Structure 1
Amino acid sequence: MIPDRIPNPVIYTVGDVIGSWYYSHTKLNTLFGENGAPGDPPEGNCVRKCQAWLKRVNDDPEINAIDLLGKVLVDFMSRDLHIDPRWKEGYDRIQKVLADNNLAFHPEGKIFSIQAQKRFCVALSFPGEHRDFVEEVASHLASHVGRERVLYDKFYEAEFARPDLDTYLPNLYRTASELIAVFLCADYAKKRWCKLEWRFIRQLICSSDASRIMFLSFDDIGAVPEIGILSGDGYVSIGKRTAQEIAEIILQRLKIDAEKPGVPMGQQVIPTKCEREPSPPSSSALGKWQEKLAFLQTEEAKIADAEQRFAIQQRIEEAKEKIRELGG
């Protein structure tokens, strides 16, 4: 559960960073006033003013202090001024004090709890020929959620210099990542490392964690059943979009997942139009579910773990029910 009070170390650090950065009473008065901070501006210098106002907000039972903190931080945290050492130092201090108190900042101006989260909020799986583009995406993501929360191999060269990397790295995708962004292209299934990662990722498709996967594609690849990609699976078409635009789409997905109340990240199902508005059955929908059923039954035969087998059997029954509904 997200707390509604701001921990004292966060108050002092944020007050120091924000007060020193803006260094203008007028700007600070506007920043706090516009976001609902109560009462007249506190006395003192810019740093003390910020700290006193955050303490006042914390003491007011009518205000969600942690929510107001997110709104106060959004302008500073979203500046992306990594070439400015003063901004970078302040940004890193805020990220660290939040993490030390089991909190994190979302670029939409939300503070959320990270106690129950996995190590990475997003993992990137991609073919090597598109590394330059994906590296830009990783950098944009890191500027918003923190470098340590993005699973991109070049960020962890020291950790990944190990003899068992062929099992260690793919397992991080499966067990330590909230969202897995899979960058597809026509040759994805032929790449050795992509196949190793996918061997673990595909297990998620056969469980309730399937919604932790996000497809993005450089090409119109269609179905690739040998690695579990079926016709009808949705993906983001990269096309002529920039790396920053793709990073923003991934952040949007993270925001959607984070806003699902009471459901752990990666276990949400985003309602589709079909779920909101019943539509007539179609032969293409029937074919999609028949293809999915065949894939799930093939995977069931490979699974020895009882828990995983039970999960995939549930999805097989779901697929059979859908096929019956569509007249199959």
Structure 2
Amino acid sequence: MSLRKKKAEIKRLIGSFEREAEKFHDLTFSLFYVTDEGPIDNRKFKSPNHTIMLWQYYGKIDPQGSAEKFVENLKSSDLQWGLRGAKLSAFAVIEGDSCALFCRMAKRAGSLFNEKESSALKSRVVSEIQNSEIDGISKPTAAVNDNAMAVWLSYLLYYISKVSPGKDKLERIDPDPFSLSLLALEDLLESPRIEKADKSMSRVDELNFKVALSFPGEKRGYVSNVVSSLKESLGKDQIFYDFDYQSQLARPDLDTILQNIYRNNCDLVVVFLCKEYSEKEWCGLEWRAVRDIIKAKEGERVMFVRFDDAQIDGVFSIDGYIDANHFTEVEVSKFILERVELVSGENAQQIAARDKPTLRFGLPQSAALDSLRQHD
């Protein structure tokens, strides 16, 4: 049974975690990494605690050499703690007096996911590890724990990656596990799906998108839900959402790639305006491309969604917008689809004939798009 058919159980879990979150348990959730040479640090954990392996990256397996060693390690390993000889292993550690209670509740929450949904969670982790190690010769090998508690903790990290990109990689995960689980369950109730990471294998600089989204990292949770709704109607490679093209955006010339997408390679740019948008360097780069669209009298290609009344250079009181505080993500996606239909109905020859000069901005090059978006 899929998550969409388990709303009653999700609501029951929300009630259970809400009651515990109100008690302000002294409980922590942290990540602990071990290499083939031993732990990365010598932290000491409080008692009681519970440690569970989340995933392992064994390394590259050469069929003509290391495969035999891999089989040998597999036979001699205590799989509760993973595979011997792994290059890197990630463990979750729950510490505090309420450790046993949380573990029981986490197992119940992890049981929400069916095999397909659990596989989607696992594929996010495995893909991220393996894609970074592909060399065309040896096969990067990774494994993810399918224990119900490990599944739930992996989902919590996935949830954090949506709302606060990068923070899922921190050693200490905040807030406390009960409160974090409550937030994640509430999000799961609204959006019962797990998106795969880095889904597209099409060249991002050769695509023409129906929609490109410009937003600060603080609003990723809202924007992610808008994207999920849009995908149900527009399908693959029709929406420029940075998380879907992570591997391709990890390059030195990211600034020129982005400015070309927003200026030339999309039918509609949706800008999510707020105080944080005016403060972020990469949002500023995207905004310059949007301003050039307006200067070229192509304002029909721009759509504003506002979260607050923050002043944005180049936006005036006469400019129309959708109020994100009054409309849900699904409603906003419907408004976007209406505009897409109007903009895409323009004469293709007129669009092709437009003079769209390529802009170049003297901003620092970086592959860390979200780290700059999140930078204070």
Taking structure 2 as the reference length, what is the TM-score of the superposition? 0.37
Select the structure that is richer in helix: 1
Which structure has more relative contact order (CA 8 Å, sep 6+)? It is: 2
Select the structure that is richer in strand: 2
